[in-house]
Amino acid sequence: MKKVLLIFILFMMILLTGCSSKTNDDDSSKNPADVKDPTDLIDTEDDDPIVDTGGATNLVVGVKLNEVYNGDGMAYSLTIDAAGFYSIKSIGDIDLQGALSDLSGGYVSYNDNKSDTDDNFEMIIYLESGTYLLGVSAVDDSVTFGLFSIIVESTSIAHVSMISVNGMIADSIFPGSTNTVEFDVSSDGDVQLYTVSTVDTYGVIYDSNGTVVAENDNGTNGDDFYIDTFLESGTYTIEISVNGDFDYADYELFYDHSVASLITYEPISVDSVVTGSFDTFGDAVLYFELTVTETVTVNIYTISDNDFDGSLFASKTAFAPIDYSVDISEDNWNFMIDNLTLEPGTYYLQVDVYVSQWNSYYYELHVDTVE
């Protein structure tokens, strides 16, 4: 973040230097490419030079610019003649970051890594006609030399189409559009997918059949979505959209997968009783696998002095339950899913528990046939 702020300070100093050299008969100072000697940018905390540049280098759409990095941040000007979508990216072996602003110093876009396997930056954004300022620097301050290129190209809307486990991708989204990203789950377990942005993102996960398995609007990070769910191994897609009015927005998508948190399902059958107990207070979740061999109508319920809620799912990854139940009454906190007809197959019961009674940790789970 400190580096980003310094880049933007560079933008402003380039702009101010250009304005101070303006004369009545020379309007070239409006273009930062014509600024010949901007003031060196100094980090006021340790007085180490961060940027020492002789002027902003002009970038031309469609022309690759080859550069030598010498350890200092570098400034570029970019003139866009026609409004549209543009790709601005670096090519090389240096871990570079890029920040784009307009001539007033207003934030336009920023990117560090193109993907979790590519340390070059890339911004795919919609730009109005006009002149912009691009600041480029190495993420690692210790980097003092390297060869790289910058290229700006007109492009259609292109997005990162896949994310790898425990990875991050940066992308942009535009009004009325959705971005779809594919991801693989190598083995059954909990996954977390979430965005970091300045807008209100919405995420929906689909399995390979196009069935919704999880979705979220506002999660744990303000208006960004945060999905934490159990998924079986397979290939999935997440669809990202944005609520509300906005011009365009940059975001980062993160994907975490933990195999260690696998859920164990205790087998149960029709006309059976499972008993158990708890050794502590607080929340708990129990998981059961119910095998049905022929069409049957059942009651599924608990007997206990504690608080039980039950939800029955058609699969481990199903988003909505077939049926669910909370308290039977104000005085009875057990659940009862009653008169539910099930076809032959395997079903998954999730029982949410809150243990609050000092002297009663014991419970019974019943699956009874309805005669």
Q: How far apart are CA 351 and CA 365, in angstroms?
A: 10
pLDDT at 201: 92
Does 255 lie in the same domain as 274? no
Averaged pLDDT for residues 70-78: 87
- Of the candidates 18, 163, 190, 205, the residue with the CA atom closest to the CA atom of residue 103: 18
Does 205 lie in the same domain as 120? no
**Residue scoring higher pLDDT (47 or 217):** 217
Q: How far apart are CA 11 and CA 1, in angstroms?
A: 16
Does 237 lie in the same domain as 314? no
Select from 124, 154, 184 the last residue of a domain.
Answer: 154
- Please tell me the total count of domains within the chain: 3
Select from 261, 291, 314 the last residue of a domain.
Answer: 261
pLDDT at 327: 86
Q: Does residue 313 surpass a pLDDT of 50?
A: yes
pLDDT at 157: 63
Does 240 lie in the same domain as 174? yes
- Category of 222 on φ-ψ map: left (φ > 0), alpha (ψ -120 to 50) or beta: left
Q: What is the CATH number of the domain that holds 235?
A: 2.60.120.380
Assigned domain for 271 exists: yes
Burial of 290 (0-12, 13-18, 19+ CB in 10 A): buried
Residue 21 is part of which domain span? Answer: 2-154
Beta-carbon contacts of 166 under 8 Å, excluding residues fewer than 6 positions away, are 255, 256, 257
**Average pLDDT value for the chain:** 79
55 — pLDDT class (breaks 50, 70, 90) = low
Averaged pLDDT for residues 71-93: 89
Q: What percent of the chain has pLDDT over 70?
A: 77
- Three-state DSSP state, 276: strand
Does 229 lie in the same domain as 85? no
Averaged pLDDT for residues 108-124: 82
Q: Does residue 148 surpass a pLDDT of 90?
A: yes
Q: How far apart are CA 63 and CA 358, in angstroms?
A: 74
Q: Does residue 151 surpass a pLDDT of 90?
A: yes
Contact 346, 257 (CB under 8 A): no
pLDDT at 102: 83
Across 4-13, 69-78, 211-220, least confident range:
4-13
Please, where are the H alpha helices in the chain?
Answer: 2-20
pTM over 0.75? The answer is no
Select from 261, 280, 305 the last residue of a domain.
Answer: 261
Does 106 lie in the same domain as 34? yes
Across 84-98, 224-238, 240-254, least confident range:
240-254
